[in-house]
Amino acid sequence: MKIFLDGRFVDKADAKISVFDHGLLYGDGVFEGIRVYNGRIFRLEQHLDRLFASATAIMLSVPMTHAELVEVCCECCRRNKIANGYIRLVVTRGTGYLGLSPFKCSKPSVFCIADTIELYPDEVYRNGLRLITAATRRVNPAAISPSVKSLNYLNNIMAKIEAIQAGTVEALMLNDQGYVAECTGDNIFIVRGGKLETPPVSAGALNGITRGVVFELAERLNIACREVNLTRYDVMTADECFLTGTAAEIVAVASLDGRAIGSGKPGPITRRLEAEFHKLTRTEGTPIVR
């Protein structure tokens, strides 16, 4: 496997970052998880826009241009013969001293990995996911904006531990006011009376790319969709519920904390959106070979 690291492609065994990199010492950096389907990178421009916005928000200057990063992602797929898989693009603050100050770090590091992807088990896509509500609350947006896709995932990891210890794979995270924010690595939607509802970004959700695709699909399919504060009660009593994420795509939720949602099976609107989403991923994207 060849990894892009700071301007060149190196073997996996040589793809190493300093123990003084603030990405490691403090989670100081930003990243994107991107999918490649049939030799085309899905929504690459949007992922890069979000990466640059995250970097701006944490005062990190990405040492490469948008166009250069497009090329890096494509080349990484080509070199590793990944036509269907997952790209992880990371910008760390770079090597510094033990103090917190990012201004003493020499130069941000950029690396890119193209690999195969591990999806949720088939059974989850067939029957829906069992969600639990995590006791761990989402970080207050006033502390660090959830729109910043940073390397600091401890908040999500604490909730993921709860999910796994409860025998499932995802957990619902509430914000400090008790409203639904998102899951540990996915956004959440419910269907109520034939309409879609999802928490606003201000409730503590990442501005998910897949979430945005669902907005577009809903518009095209004439399904009303609004961003609104949701409670656990709203999720438990919804007609349908599904999660969205680059890795998960669209995955139905069967239950929350043991309460079946709707029929307890993936619902018709979820299935329709899933089908339309797959159509898009089959046809759209930046070709890795040009």
Task: Cite the active site residues.
Answer: 149
Query: Of 94, 208, 262, 285, which lies in the binding site for ligand PMP, with binding defined by CB under 6 A?
Result: 208
User: Minimal CA–CA distance to 85: which of 46, 141, 42?
Assistant: 42
Options 7-15, 84-92, 218-226, 241-249: segment touching ligand PMP (CB under 6 A): 241-249
Identity of the residue, 34 or 105, whose beta carbon is nearer to ligand PMP in the bound complex = 34
User: Would you give the binding string for ligand PMP spanning residues 135-174, x where CB under 6 A is met?
Assistant: ---------------------x------------------
Options 2-10, 71-79, 159-167, 240-248: segment touching ligand PMP (CB under 6 A): 240-248
Q: What are phi and psi of 160, to 5 degrees?
A: -65, -40
* Closest distance of CB 96 from ligand PMP, Å: 26
**Residue 255 interacting with ligand PMP (CB under 6 A):** no
Q: CA–CA separation, 40 vs 77, rounded Å?
A: 10
Q: CA–CA separation, 290 vs 274, rounded Å?
A: 29
Query: Of 109, 133, 244, 255, which lies in the binding site for ligand PMP, with binding defined by CB under 6 A?
Result: 244
User: Minimal CA–CA distance to 90: which of 64, 113, 120, 121?
Assistant: 113
**Residue 198 interacting with ligand PMP (CB under 6 A):** no
* Closest distance of CB 103 from ligand PMP, Å: 28
* Closest distance of CB 210 from ligand PMP, Å: 3
**Residue 33 interacting with ligand PMP (CB under 6 A):** yes
**CB distance 201 to 164 below 8 Å:** no
* Closest distance of CB 7 from ligand PMP, Å: 26
Identity of the residue, 6 or 276, whose beta carbon is nearer to ligand PMP in the bound complex = 276
Alpha helices, DSSP H only, in the chain? Answer: 22-26, 44-57, 66-79, 122-127, 154-165, 209-220, 232-236, 268-283
Q: CA–CA separation, 281 vs 112, rounded Å?
A: 21
* Closest distance of CB 255 from ligand PMP, Å: 20
Query: Of 23, 204, 245, 267, which lies in the binding site for ligand PMP, with binding defined by CB under 6 A?
Result: 245
User: Minimal CA–CA distance to 198: which of 264, 269, 148?
Assistant: 269
* Closest distance of CB 188 from ligand PMP, Å: 9
Q: CA–CA separation, 138 vs 159, rounded Å?
A: 9
Q: What is the 3-state secondary structure (H, E, C) of 37-103?
A: ECCEECCHHHHHHHHHHHHHHCCCCCCCCHHHHHHHHHHHHHHCCCCCEEEEEEEECCECCCCCCHH
User: Minimal CA–CA distance to 213: which of 54, 86, 88, 43?
Assistant: 43
Query: Of 136, 152, 210, 286, which lies in the binding site for ligand PMP, with binding defined by CB under 6 A?
Result: 210
What are the residues binding ligand PMP (CB under 6 A)?
33, 156, 182, 185-187, 206, 208-211, 244-246
